[in-house]
Amino acid sequence: MFKKILIANRGEIACRVIKTARKMGIRTVAVFSDADRDALHVEMADEAVHIGPAAAAESYLVIDKIVAACKATGAEAVHPGYGFLSEREAFPVALAKAGIVFIGPNPGAIAAMGDKIESKKAAARAKVSTVPGHLGEIGDPKEAVRIAREIGYPVMIKASAGGGGKGMRIAYDDKECEEGFASARSEAKSSFGDDRVFVEKFIVNPRHIEIQVLGDKHGNVVYLGERECSIQRRNQKVIEEAPSPLLDAATRKAMGEQAVALAKAVNYDSAGTVEFVAGQDRSFFFLEMNTRLQVEHPVTELVTGIDLVEQMIRVAAGEKLAFRQADIKLKGWAVESRIYAEDPYRNFLPSIGRLVRYRPPREGSSGGLTVRNDTGVTEGGEISMFYDPMIAKLVTHAPTRAAAIELQAEALDAFHIDGIQHNIPFLTALMQHPRWQSGNISTGFIKEEYPDGFAPREAAGDQLRTMAMVAAAIDHLDNERRRRISGQISGTPVRFAASRVVRLAGQEVRLTIDGGGAKPFVITLPGDDAGREQKTEVVSAWWPGDPVWTGRVGDRDISVQVRRILNGANLAWRGISVDAHVYTEREAALVALMPEKVAADTSKLLLCPMPGLVKAINVTVGQDVKAGDALCTVEAMKMENILRAERDAVVKAVNAKPGDSLAVDAVIMEFA
């Protein structure tokens, strides 16, 4: 076994590998760029080596710097994580020349499967079901349109060296095909240094299901069940689960055996993933093979009990797999949410900045329930524009799918992040979505269910009353705290009225509140149609300043995000976000007379939705534009975002040019 390994990566996957290496008694070496000097993976590793500027092309993607770091520290092997150099054939070749072991598949397997065009040809030879398409390299937009017409729309334009949703576009007509070809090619060039793209048929209403395979250097290959990754945004996975609610035992076996056949055909000898696109009828077609550890590997680890990073290390050291296919059993259900630095209220555009607060839920296992949080950040750290915007992966495991989803919802409610925008509000709302809970999903889920963008769930019924009671409990505790301030003018003690009016979500909830101090609050709501009052006991150890109110309302344990606003608090729970204000009856009557402030009209402005670099301006002053026309392209976090006209208009002014770096909400252009 190795005594020291180097992790040629950053962020949560570097931290993840370090944890397993520690468990195995292996010392670790981290590498870091200028932007990651104070990163968590640098702090966790036994040693760390600086490898260059912030840009990945000058640090994490430079093979010679990784090899030099290995030689300087005496690292015997390298784990590549995912992304960066993990699927570059040249990387293990260079390591081997330097006498360093690559903790991953052999170069031949990477060459055969790492290129999406060649991998489809190999899959066809191995008699694996493949999607109809054109497997050759495409030279220009006109050729892409011609091929798309032959295949039949819709089609998927994909970068041959792509991954992580980059360099991928869906086209439903000739215009989208031309635009998508240019955009996919440009994005592929900047992300992977390889601008080759191909076209294949896009399966309508598809599901994304992948099989985890694991091979050793002695010819043994097994599959560890499947993961479903159908909840995607812009071809980027957002939610993953294992097993899939679609598959039955027969389909699982058929997919697993095809995945193993393909792996054996290319002498695969590490952890890898064979991805399939599946129809709702359980038909399936080979999509690609990722010759590395997947981002979503934790769900497989939780349902199989197998540490995939440990197996990769053991296989690289020459050990045989300690189990056979018959030994692989799936237990329970696991759900993973990817927590990104992005703004769900602004079409999920990237957000960068400092993590002023970062308080994940408590990890651990109890009563058959497990909460796990894989992350590479700490409070006070910075989300940089140079790398992927993922903050953490929150994973839950329970005996059933419904229980795993409920546990995930509870954990998301308790996950507090401040200082940047993030997608937790969307994830918490999604966990309550009936279609997601039913398992009737597809890769078009987000586009279909949120066609006009994401908005918080509306509070109503019991949910509205629950949040009103939490707001009243917070207000009452604040009042109690004020009573205990020292140095107050003596006299008759201040008594706060028990009757309260809580205004939230455009509605009023009238209640009375008693108790406090060492006793639970008892909140009474008005009578129902039969005239019966509802009394609810509210218990919590929350104290002003805590970012999450955790307690019990009636017979239910809940966690509510609390952010102070003027004369109240913003409360977020189960995808519902409301500004809550608690008044006396007299105050409520006066507030009702106050005029409301109207937001400024920005309907005639195109604002930059995130900090980024202007790549292209597609219109000129005086030009008529139609709804949906491309106005400009802004690049942020290695993703090119085409900003389109929301309605028909005339361009009045253009305030930016290609090459400009813009801040969020900067005015790019104005319309007449």
Hey, which residues are catalytic here?
288
Cβ contact 596:603 at 8 Å: no
Q: Which of 300, 378, 395, 385 is nearest to 339 (CA)?
A: 395
214 Cβ contact list (under 8 Å, min separation 6): 221, 222, 223, 224, 270, 271, 272, 306, 308, 311, 315, 321
Compute the distance between CA of residue 285 and CA of residue 131 in angstroms, rounded to an integer: 5
Neighbours of 473 (CB within 10 A): 24
Compute the distance between CA of residue 650 and CA of residue 524 in angstroms, rounded to an integer: 57
What is the side-by-side order of every strand in the sheet holding 369-375? 284-290, 271-278, 207-215, 221-233, 236-242, 333-340, 390-398, 369-375, 364-366
Compute the distance between CA of residue 622 and CA of residue 317 in angstroms, rounded to an integer: 66
Q: Where are the beta strands (DSSP E) in 139-196?
A: 155-163, 166-171
Compute the distance between CA of residue 495 and CA of residue 476 in angstroms, rounded to an integer: 11
Compute the distance between CA of residue 32 and CA of residue 49 in angstroms, rounded to an integer: 6
| Kind plus residue range of the DSSP H or E element containing 92 | helix 90-97
List Cα–Cα distances, 26 to 7, 73, 75, 80, in angstroms: 12, 14, 10, 16
539 Cβ contact list (under 8 Å, min separation 6): 520, 521, 551, 552
Residue type at 201 in one-letter notation? K
Residue type at 124 in one-letter notation? A
**Crossing angle of the two packed helices 11-23 and 308-316, in degrees rounded to 10:** 70
Compute the distance between CA of residue 116 and CA of residue 135 in angstroms, rounded to an integer: 9
List Cα–Cα distances, 325 to 60, 256, 371, in angstroms: 36, 10, 27
- Tokens 């840009």 belong to residue: 55
Q: Which of 13, 60, 20 is nearest to 36 (CA)?
A: 60
Q: Where are the beta strands (DSSP E) in 435-506?
A: 499-504
Positive or negative torsion for Cα 139, 141, 146, 149 = positive
Strands 661-662 and 612-617: antiparallel
Which residues on adjacent β-strands are paired with residue 372?
395
User: What's the DSSP call for residue 457?
Assistant: B
Q: Which of 390, 131, 124 is nearest to 258 (CA)?
A: 124
Strands 534-540 and 548-553: antiparallel
Specify burial of residue 468 (Cβ count, 10 A radius: 0-12, 13-18, 19+): buried
